[in-house]
Amino acid sequence: MEQLISLLKSMKIRIDGLMERLAITGKAEQIAGLEEEAAVDDFWNNSDAAQKVMQEIARLKAEVERWQSLSSRINDALELAQLGDDSLLNDLTTETNSLSELVQRMELQALLSGPYDNENAIFSIHAGAGGTEAQDWALMLERMYMRWAEQNGYKVEVIERSDGEEAGIKSVMMSIKGEYAYGYLQSEQGVHRLVRLSPFDAANRRHTSFAKAELWPDIQGDIDIEISEKDLKVDTYRAGGAGGQNVQKNDTAVRITHIPTGIVVQCQNERSQKQNRERATQILKARLFEMERQKQEAQLASLKGENVDAGWGNQIRSYVLHPYQMVKDHRTDYETGNTGAVLDGRLNEFMDAYLRYQVERGQAEKV
């Protein structure tokens, strides 16, 4: 029992410290203030502003309740353990193990302190050179991330998808909604490399394929970016897949090209051309915003003497299915031989390793 008490006391100290650093008490007071604001008679006169306030209340409540609930569970378990009743040992051991896993997860989540880490994400996958082989790899990645989202309670909506000629996909853009979607998916942006015996090669030879993942925070109306109409080329086309009910009879899908940067955004999942254009414009703003943010980071990094290169050839992770089984992240050196589980969406270990790597890297830069 003494070992359990020691573990629970350690967890209490860690969680109390994190709650203080994250200003959980202050956020609870902020909720009370916003709820008072929402109770005013004319609160809903400006529906857009009111919606933002209600969304902020919901977001803050979810965060505060999550931390307060964990703190209460630790305190309750500690009180029971300190009673010294050996009949409770098995139940307390189970609860302590569960709490230990949850504390580790919450500690990692606390590392996601960037200004947009808690936002929804826009995530895209593009097949690299190599035709059908690369397009099939892009399809495998699409399934992997959809399975990850499903396993972790995220909602996925396909914004635009371009099928391959024979198999797979040329590209897909998805909206991934849920807490810290952008924060966790930051570990995934970059080039992914696959090595396998090709199912499309009659000689069954080994092939290497590449696909690139891109990410933007889906902050929608909060992005203050002005876009001139003269800088846009807007095309419309019919949305849908290979036939049947999925094919629209009207040109509802929208493709927007931002002429100064060459960025192309497509949207085909909304019901009307107007809705698709509005959503495509939101995504364009998010991409322009992220481009500017990365440019500023690159300028700061160059001042520090760091070589920043986000080129296509820099694979962040390799998935080797032949001649051995291995998935390895080249930034963190985290690896696993369970390739089937990874391709079925088990990515949290890679994301956690990346978060720790970022923290260690930040600490090293301060030295």
How does pLDDT run across 241-273, given as a tens digit for each residue? 443 344 444 678 999 999 999 999 999 888 889
* Tens digit of each residue's pLDDT (9 = 90 or more) over 68-91: 999 999 999 999 999 988 888 999
Selected from 3.30.160.20, 3.40.605.10, 3.40.50.720, 3.40.50.2300, the CATH number assigned to the domain covering 229-302 reads 3.30.160.20
Domain boundaries 121-192+339-366, corresponding CATH code: 3.30.70.1660
| Calpha distance 210→196 (Å, rounded) | 12
Choose among 359, 351, 320: nearest CA to 334. 351
* Tens digit of each residue's pLDDT (9 = 90 or more) over 125-178: 999 987 899 999 999 999 999 999 999 999 999 998 999 988 999 999 999 999
Q: Is the pLDDT of residue 221 over 70?
A: no
Q: Is the pLDDT of residue 294 over 90?
A: no
| Calpha distance 334→352 (Å, rounded) | 10
How is 216-279 classified by DSSP, letter by letter? EE--GGG------GGGEEEEEE---SSSGGGS-SS--EEEEEETTTTEEEEE--SSSHHHHHHH
| Calpha distance 216→134 (Å, rounded) | 23
pLDDT of residue 282: 86
Q: Is the pLDDT of residue 287 over 80?
A: yes
**CATH topology for the 2-110 domain:** Methane Monooxygenase Hydroxylase; Chain G, domain 1 (1.20.58)
Q: Is 60 left (phi over 0), alpha (psi -120 to 50) or beta?
A: alpha
How is 112-169 classified by DSSP, letter by letter? --STTTTS-EEEEEEE-SSTHHHHHHHHHHHHHHHHHHHHTT-EEEEEEEEE-SSSSE
| Calpha distance 134→132 (Å, rounded) | 6
Q: Across the chain, what does the average pLDDT equal? A: 86
Domain ranges for the chain, please list them: 2-110, 121-192+339-366, 229-302
* Tens digit of each residue's pLDDT (9 = 90 or more) over 295-339: 776 664 554 444 434 345 679 999 999 999 999 999 999 999 999
pLDDT of residue 313: 61
| Calpha distance 52→95 (Å, rounded) | 38
pTM above 0.85? no
